Amino acid sequence: MDRHGGQHRLALAHRAHAGAATGRAWGAAGCGAADGTQNAVILQVRAAGDAIYPSSLEPWSRIFDGVQGNNPGYDPLAFAVQQTRLRGLELHAWFNPFRAGNLRDTLTMSPQHFSVRRPDLVRKCGQLWFDPGEQAVQDHAIAVMRDVATRYDIDAVHIDDFFYPYPDTCTNFPDSATYARYRSSGGALSLGDWRRDNVNRFVERMYNEVHVVAPQVRVGVSPFGIWRPGSPAGIVGLDAFASIYADSRLWLQRGWVDYFAPQLYWSIASSGQSFPSLLEWWGQQNTQRRHLWPGLASYRINADPGPFAPGEIPAQISLIRNASTTVGRATGSILYNGTSVRTNRGGFATTLGGGLFATGAIPPATPWLDATAPAVPTLAVATSGSTLSVSMNPGDGDTRSFLLRWRVNGEWRQRVIASVQRAADIPAANVDGVVLNALDKVGNASADAVWRRP
């Protein structure tokens, strides 16, 4: 079997909005991702200089009751970590490093909000932005990420495509004073190169500093899906390199990410933004052989403008899977957004669950962070009527989950089980063998523990 069926299947559970991170909402999202079709959830924990967890650095998000700074009375991020562990899912913490809020938020900001404490760092252009060229802005965002990676048992730190604002909302970002200060200190870069350098330095620093405090926590970036028009030939659209100053190909080729998730939110049939062409091109750029897990627009199923047919996402996943045997190519995907998964928009989640995702998969290992496999678990199997009762125990403290496989008439079936669960039942009919592996936080698998029917 190919790496025990190793693929990454993630669902972006929530962008922060009113009511999104309540226990009830999280339970629904977690259950939607825990039906066997996904193996990880990306949860937005910092939408705009606020937090869905208790923080000494930033105020509580307003998503709970509409008032920024109000304590909801529990820790939603700790609850999310707990729930994902119980379900055998990974949890990736999603941050927006430079968004500060909407323009209408200026009168309702908490006194603890960084924009209130340091208004000199805020720029107004369509929305409120923390200026990426200000060192204090980068220092604060990195401190927030380090804090979460230190205090919570997350699996990854994740950022998306918001760096400098998109030109449809801001055509003249007001950072002239910041740039003039850079030039007066001896800087020689052009405005565009300087802005790109600001973002590049942030991405590199994020990658390094998260690993200082949490060596096994992966760092992922989900940039706009087109690096530059014409790359590859025939691709047209926004020039992210020149307009939002995101040199995302550089980050991938420098190895400043553990996983890279370009937002390929177009259809297979799109002429100017061909999904197959972009998928292949990004694989060719992956010279460091990082995990490539493109983002797929499941939110577009049966939705205007330009709705996707329900079969579009399964067809895209088929293309990804067919290309996965080539070195450097994609080995998984991210579905945006979690609501489309939970509501089974157009029945696409049912289609995946009965076909491409019918068998649970484990995330590919990240050996450049840690290549040491966990100890072999202990395995015991007892027959009880038409059921095999499987007991399992980790061999050491590095076990995050178990991969349980059993052979029926020569065909392997499998299930990923949280390490807190020490027993499972499987149908006994025609099973001639059971194999158990321990999996650690970065996906390393132990040697096999094996049971054979007497």
The pTM for the full model equals 0.93
At 384-407, the pLDDT tens digits run 999 999 999 999 989 999 999 999
Q: How confident is the model over 1-26, as a mean pLDDT? A: 45
Percentage above 70 pLDDT, the chain? 92
Query: Would you tell me how many other CB atoms lie within 10 Å of the CB of residue 255?
Result: 14
Distance CA 60, CA 86 (A): 26
pLDDT at 134 over 80: yes
Report angle CA 268, 273, 274 to the nearest 5 degrees: 35
pLDDT at 21 (0 to 100): 38
pLDDT at 35 (0 to 100): 55
At 426-436, the pLDDT tens digits run 999 999 999 99
Distance CA 310, CA 64 (A): 33
Distance CA 244, CA 45 (A): 23
- Per-residue pLDDT band for 20 (boundaries 50, 70, 90) equals very low
pLDDT at 339 (0 to 100): 87
The answer for residues whose C-beta is within 8 angstroms of residue 147's C-beta and 6 or more apart is: 55, 56, 57
pLDDT at 443 (0 to 100): 94
DSSP E strand boundaries for 242-377: 259-260, 291-292, 295-296, 332-335
First-to-last C-alpha distance (Å) of the chain: 24
10-24, 40-54, 154-168: least confidently modelled range: 10-24
Range with the largest mean pLDDT of 104-113, 261-270, 351-360: 261-270
pLDDT at 102 over 80: yes
pLDDT at 117 over 80: yes
